[in-house]
Chain A
């Protein structure tokens, strides 16, 4: 913790307020189940927290490093498949009996477990895969993009295309991936003697604790020297390069940390949802993450997290109220338009503005740097 304080550049008080706010949020989600004795609602809120986590990961690369990754759901989906593969191998298949092939492979006339499924017999390796497969992909992709000084809209297009490619691959290779139906009928996650039923406080806490740790980890990163350089790159890439920093390395780092968090979130999503599906790495989900991030405030990790929770929660509530059954999509759309038009820094920006009004002048935005355009124009003209 002290390191955070030593390295901070904004005033000590501001950082303190920020850390306290984050702690308050984490405490709130952790004590929440004490007041809620309803497994179904806990499962639902655990789902929202997972979505908050992947959105937070995007805010790290988009809000802090200026990398608009439209393929954020790729890391998320790969994480969820890693977990689903491990849990699938732990179920007793109804068609082949104990130790047999997963059911969808039998349906597709596969005779032998493919080699890349073998490591997933080990939960430890599966969890490593859930984190490092997305990270390696992010590093490779980042290496090509940022070494080639590709920035701005082109990053958005490339990451989106990459997502589509993997998505199609998973749907097409249904012999090994379950295709369009995804991987269903999973065992329960179990480690260190804890069993994580999707409808239990244990799973909720697993999600809430993971989110808290990632949130503070990401906060520490943004407060570190590397974090400041990232923000400098976001605001003026060329200037940072003239200072002698290797811009690409920092960008790759931001993207891969973001991928790791998204991968963890994906694994948790499988535990909460009890299946994995190609829709977990679909374009609509990926764009939803961007929208949540924008609504919450992309330059605030906590803002993005809360944005996802609030918007996903609203989608749930609106689509379930009889009055809005036919119009809920329209209402959601209108809210997004209004937020983008009038709150360019999202909910976090609104709260900041209100706080500044309430406490008078002298306070700056919690997160650092000027609010830039959605895609930094400075960098868009690089080759």
Chain B
């Protein structure tokens, strides 16, 4: 049966009730008699009715001098503590911008939600923010799992998600602005530096999920080039806190460097048990991509002292912008609070959002226009000058190598000479993320 134009139920209007006819519709039509009403309406299909989404096109995102944005960080649940600091950094930036007159005179109105560290709740709240509140952008997520859960919402509705966390790369979405580091930005300088200073035997330990595995994939490629050796590669379950067997293996394999991509509470347990086992950071340091001021505060400075982290930002970084940021953060949220390499992007990405929106006329403020406007946008963040890469919507950053001190802060040993380009597919040279999408080379 040939395809026919959509058939409308005249008594039900609004375009919602379009009955999409397909090859199989003969059977469907026979059933119509008793499925009339409920089930027939159930046949309404959104894919066949794109005007549903265009209906939002005429909607003014910037109404009554206000711009609504979503803030989607967990305030409760397993990652609640770290994500709360991201929420605070985001809110601080929004308040600062509003106090300074807003964006072209328009106030940013944050809609704060608590997704409770649960991916399903993340997806539900993201829908509320995008479809219910009609936010023009959402700032959110710490874990990759939560980003993956909200991604369909932003891609199908062509909205914009601002993701501040370092992550494993290998994503090429047109609907996410990534302001955290990808593997090449954290490792390109760090791994050779470790080999030069400590030696060629590496022990890789990570939590068992995609982020550590991808970081290690890239690490192994770098090590191979340097002629270094991986003595063991091991993954522990998320939330794992019993590292005695790991420490025994470390003792027996005697690596020069323990390369750690363990996350969350496991970081604390690993460091404490390392210290309790009498291992010496001078001879066999841990080199981490995930240990920030936040984790150090949780484990205590003594357990962290002497271990290394590579990241684009540390609280002690010397720059006027960072001094302002740290001071404002403490004044707003408490003198005992720390800033770290995920809260700093949470803060500066709001300013990038502002710069992009500033370029647009109020009637042009839509998520796709903001995306176009933010491409190539630059600003001086607390860590240094940053830029959104036009091709892949990741960020040019300033990786630093630092050692933890017993006072809970880091000491920056080496700062990049120039900003480092984000290469989200660094471990896979046959794939490149471009403006047009993922390309095979």
> A residues engaging B (CB < 8 A)?
30-31, 33, 37-41, 43-44, 47, 94-95, 104, 107-108, 168, 171-172, 174, 179-182, 184-186, 188, 192-197, 199-202, 204-206, 208-209, 273-275, 277, 279-280, 284, 316, 319-320, 322, 325-326, 328-329
Contact = CB atoms under 8 A, between A and B. Distances in A.
B353 to A, nearest CB: 22
B149 A184 contact: yes
A209 B38 CA distance: 9
Interface in B1-36: 14, 16-17, 20-25, 27-28
A279 B41 contact: no
B215 interface: no
Contact of B42 (A107, A181, A185, A194): A194
Contacts of A40: 127-128, 130-132
Interface in B112-133: 112-114, 116, 118-120, 123-125, 127-128, 130-132
A189 to B, nearest CB: 11
Interface size class of B (residues with CB under 8 A): 35 or more
Contacts of A319: 113-114, 116
B16 A37 contact: yes
A190 to B, nearest CB: 9
A181 B143 CA distance: 9
Nearest to B147: A181
A208 B42 CA distance: 10
Most buried by A among B14, B125, B145, B214: B145
A94 B131 contact: no
Given A171-B208, A202-B43, A182 B27 contact: no
A193 B210 contact: no
Interface stretch (B44-52, B93-101, B252-260, B285-293): B44-52
26 contacts: A37-B14, A44-B128, A47-B124, A95-B438, A171-B208, A171-B237, A174-B209, A180-B145, A181-B145, A181-B209, A185-B152, A193-B27, A194-B28, A194-B43, A194-B45, A195-B46, A201-B41, A202-B41, A202-B46, A206-B42, A279-B118, A280-B120, A319-B113, A322-B112, A325-B112, A328-B114
B149 A316 contact: no
B42 A205 contact: yes
A205 B16 CA distance: 13
Contacts, number: 157
A193 B128 contact: no
Contact of B127 (A43, A184, A204): A43
Contact of A201 (B16, B28, B119): B16
Contacts of A172: 208, 237
B120 A273 contact: yes
Contact of B41 (A104, A107, A188, A205): A205
A273 B123 contact: yes
Nearest to A33: B41
Contact of B148 (A174, A181, A209, A326): A181
B30 to A, nearest CB: 11
Contacts of B123: 273-275
Nearest to A194: B43
B210 A44 contact: no
A79 B320 CA distance: 55
A206 B44 CA distance: 11
Given A94-B438, A205-B41, A322-B112, A193 B120 contact: no
B39 interface: yes
B149 A182 contact: yes
Contacts of A44: 124, 127-128
Given A39-B131, A171-B208, A193-B25, A202 B44 contact: yes
